[in-house]
Amino acid sequence: MMNKTYPKDREFDNSSFGSSETMLPRNEKDCCNTCTRRCVCITLAVLLVLMVIAAAIACTVTLALPSRTPESRLCTTGNYTGFLCDDRITCLLPSQVCDSSNDCGTGEDETTSLCSNLPDSLPGYLIFRCGNPSVWIYSNYKCNEINNCGDCSDESMTFASCPSCGSDWWTCTPVLYQYCNCIPRSLCKNGVQDCTNWSDEYVCS
Ligand SMILES: [Ca+2]
Ligand SMILES: [Ca+2]
Ligand SMILES: [Ca+2]
């Protein structure tokens, strides 16, 4: 009786048993390693591009912002709070802002944003609102001994009441503080200015 000879199964490499990774063919493992490195490189490249874009946006936003806020214009000149020019040295009187004259080197005291809607477009420290809310003056005209508001409210902490102007009074507005809207005719042609337009000395009789 002849013994049958069966072909032997392909030999199995027991050394690699139990590890699914090491069971892969060599060229397949190399491929995975290559893919992993490629993914890392692509991720880093994308992150780098995103960082460059973010930096560019940040620079653009920073440059687009105004270099100075209105509050940074506040300065002091003499006894007044004034308006600081771009040279960071020149401090204008409030009444020099929006007076149709370029007093700062590059005209920043006459810009549309400042002067298009007076007085609301001006910083609050440059103006004074009179007793009559519809009347305003530049803040450096407050307490200057002249009735700029017309009701003397810029010359007194409490709103002054103006004298009634009868036939014994000469009307001129504004006048020096104490007489508000009119002066006694006894002050006409007395050699002393009482009306800011000098009408008490040249017109009144
Ligand atoms: Ca000006
Ligand atoms: Ca005044
Ligand atoms: Ca006079």
Among all bound ligands, the one having the nearest atom to the CA of 103 is 1
In this prediction the pTM is 0.52
194 CA to middle of ligand 3, Å?
Answer: 5
Among all bound ligands, the one having the nearest atom to the CA of 128 is 2
- The pLDDT value recorded for residue 116 is 96
Cβ-count burial 164-185 (b if 16+ within 10 Å, e if not): ebeeebbebbbbbbebbbbbee
- Please report, as a single letter, which amino acid is at residue 23: M
- Mean pLDDT for all residues in the chain: 77
Q: Is the pLDDT of residue 2 over 50?
A: no
pLDDT per residue as tens digits for the range 10-31? 444 444 444 444 444 555 555 5
Dist CA 128 CA 137 (whole Å): 5
Q: Is the pLDDT of residue 3 over 70?
A: no
113 CA to middle of ligand 2, Å?
Answer: 27
187 CA to middle of ligand 3, Å?
Answer: 4
Q: What is the mean pLDDT of residues 89-105?
A: 96
93 CA to middle of ligand 1, Å?
Answer: 9
